[in-house]
Amino acid sequence: MKSITVVLLTILAAGGASAADDPEVQALLVRMDDLYRGTASSHGKMTMRVKTNRFQREISMEMWSEGAEKSLIRILGPARDRGTATLKADQNIWNYLPKVDRTIKVPVAMMSGSWMGSHLSNDDLVDSSRFSEDFQCHAVQKSESKQGFWLLECVPNEDAVVVYSKTTLKIRANNEIATEVTDYDERGNPVRTMMLSEIDEISGRLYPRHIRMVPNDKPGEYTEMIYDEMEFDVRLPEDTFTLRSLKK
């Protein structure tokens, strides 16, 4: 999975040369890539709903991103967590905790841990792997008509830093947006599925307003992210992605 701020950008818009052997798949990846090429920055607000068998909570947050490498997320509510912020820069994550007024870098050993109690891990936040560069993709199913779906199967390259053995993408033919992304473990069992829906268009770019992550091993649990506001190509202050602005 990708950074949630740019989740679609990197999943759908794999940059660089396509790794697909199939020219048709390659063309698809290139078009998806083109859709978001040139996206320098984004800014938005979203709501994250986490439902587990133990608790249910809703967090509203504001976020900023630049490319796939940098992002800043600040929690707006609930009141107890307000002001808590996460900065992702390069491959590192820092959390700012207003209660103790400290910034903490998440150590490598904790990267697989949950981010803000959700079904996303810190690794997911920093994952900057690209399907076009780090995966070998082939089409399991091609769609002839505009109403159908493409089914792509992507296996990470040996040197890619990806914890999953395989990822499948279900792509709607008419808008070339992935609607379902499933990650598999080493034994080939699905680990989790991400569903993307409510495709919207902003400044000529399509993106899903609603993302739902369902872990396979925990029936009844999920994490939902709903983009309430989203803007692309915004001008961000230069110091947006620094530890100082994390504290603000």
Partner 1 sequence: MTTFKMAWRNIWRNSRRTLVTVAAMSLALMVTVNYQAIMTGLLSSLEGNILDLEMGDIQVFAPDYRDRPSIYSSVDEVDPMLETLEADGYRVTTRLLAGGLAASDETSAGAMVRGLEPGREAEATLIHDHVVQGSWLDPEDPRGIVLGAKLAKSLAVAPGDEVILLSQSTDGSIANDLYEVRGVLGVISDGTDRAGVFMLDEAFRNLFYFDGGAHQLLIRTPGDVDLGTAVEYLRGLWADLDIQSWRDLLPTMSQMLDSAAAALAVFMVIIYIAIAITVINAMLMAVFERVREFGVLKAIGVEPGRVFRIILIESAMQCGLAIVIGLTLSLPLLWYVSTVGIDVGRLGGASMAGMAMDPIWLGVVTPATFVIPVVLLIFMVALAVLYPALKAARIQPVEAMRYQ
* Interface residues toward partner 1, by CB under 8 A: 50, 52, 54-57, 78, 80-81, 84, 95, 97, 99-100, 102, 104-107, 109-110, 113-114, 116-117
Q: How far is the CB of 211 from partner 1 (least distance, A)?
A: 19
Q: How far is the CB of 94 from partner 1 (least distance, A)?
A: 10
What Cα–Cα distance (Å) separates residue 151 from each residue in 28, 30, 32, 154, 172?
Answer: 11, 16, 14, 10, 9
Instruction: Tell me whether residue 80 or residue 187 sits nearer to partner 1 (CB atom).
Output: 80
Of 131, 155, 4, residue with least CA distance to 73: 4
Instruction: Tell me whether residue 26 or residue 114 sits nearer to partner 1 (CB atom).
Output: 114
Instruction: Tell me whether residue 76 or residue 110 sits nearer to partner 1 (CB atom).
Output: 110
Instruction: Tell me whether residue 101 or residue 159 sits nearer to partner 1 (CB atom).
Output: 101
Q: How far is the CB of 84 from partner 1 (least distance, A)?
A: 6
Determine phi and psi for 169, rounding to 5 degrees: -120, 130
Q: How far is the CB of 97 from partner 1 (least distance, A)?
A: 5
The C-alpha atoms of residue 182 and residue 190 are separated, in whole angstroms, by 7
Structural tokens at position 79? 């009141």
Which position has the token pair 């307000």?
Answer: 82
Classify residue 246 by its DSSP letter: H
